[in-house]
């Protein structure tokens, strides 16, 4: 997968959370990947993981530092707005549409795959929405954990830790204030 992401220079940053260390990767176009902190116990392990996938990375840049801070804030329970550029060129038109809608789901709320498909004007495309979620390289920033099965069940989560991580993320969002005093979700 990383070969697809190498559109020139790539940068990455690491962020610390109570559940482990995560990583965020960007290129000139914007963010390309978030590596969730679940199951990564230390900074060195995450650094080795990112260095193996991106051996020619140019260290950090302002975007990776900003995204890493936003993700650390998110994992500490603070409401944040992920108003950062994404490297969307590698997404299909359908994925861009799905990801755009999913980014609008408020913190702590969920939508079903079918609801997303219907909102796109493609009510029969629930499986396609599920496939887009499974390919989401930017979990949390594109909050695919907020998309659930038809009966509200927590179904497949491709992020580290699987469905248990999805459950944990939703619990985190529901236990924290929905908005801060600036209206940030």
Rounded CA-CA distance 181/44 in Å is 36
Active site residue 1: no
Q: What is 45-84 written as a DSSP string?
A: HHHHHHHHH-TT-----HHHHHHHHHHHHHHTT-------
Rounded CA-CA distance 69/83 in Å is 13
Q: Which of 144, 147, 148, 172 is catalytic?
A: 144
The answer for residues whose C-beta is within 8 angstroms of residue 131's C-beta and 6 or more apart is: none
Q: What is 92-105 written as a DSSP string?
A: -HHHHHHHHHHTTS
Identify the residue whose tokens are 């990112």.
Answer: 50
Q: Chain-centre distance of CA 164, in angstroms?
A: 16
Q: List residues with catalytic annotation.
A: 144
């Amino acid at each position: 997968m990383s070969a697809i992401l190498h559109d020139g220079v790539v940068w990455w940053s690491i962020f610390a959370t109570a559940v482990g260390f995560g990583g965020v990767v960007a290129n000139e176009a914007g963010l390309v990947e978030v590596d969730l902190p679940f199951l990564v116990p230390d900074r060195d392990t995450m650094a080795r993981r990112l260095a193996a996938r991106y051996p020619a990375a140019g260290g950090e840049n302002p975007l990776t530092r900003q995204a890493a801070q936003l993700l650390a804030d998110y994992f500490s329970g603070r409401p944040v707005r992920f108003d950062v550029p994404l490297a969307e060129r590698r997404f299909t038109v359908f994925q861009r549409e799905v990801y755009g809608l999913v980014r609008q789901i408020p913190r702590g709320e969920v939508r079903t795959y079918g609801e997303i498909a219907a909102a796109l004007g493609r009510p029969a495309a629930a499986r396609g929405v599920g496939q887009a979620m499974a390919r989401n390289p930017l979990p949390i920033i594109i909050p695919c954990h907020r998309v659930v099965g038809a009966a509200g069940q927590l179904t497949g989560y491709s992020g580290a830790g699987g469905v248990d991580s999805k459950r944990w993320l939703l619990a985190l969002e529901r236990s924290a204030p929905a908005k801060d005093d600036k209206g940030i979700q």
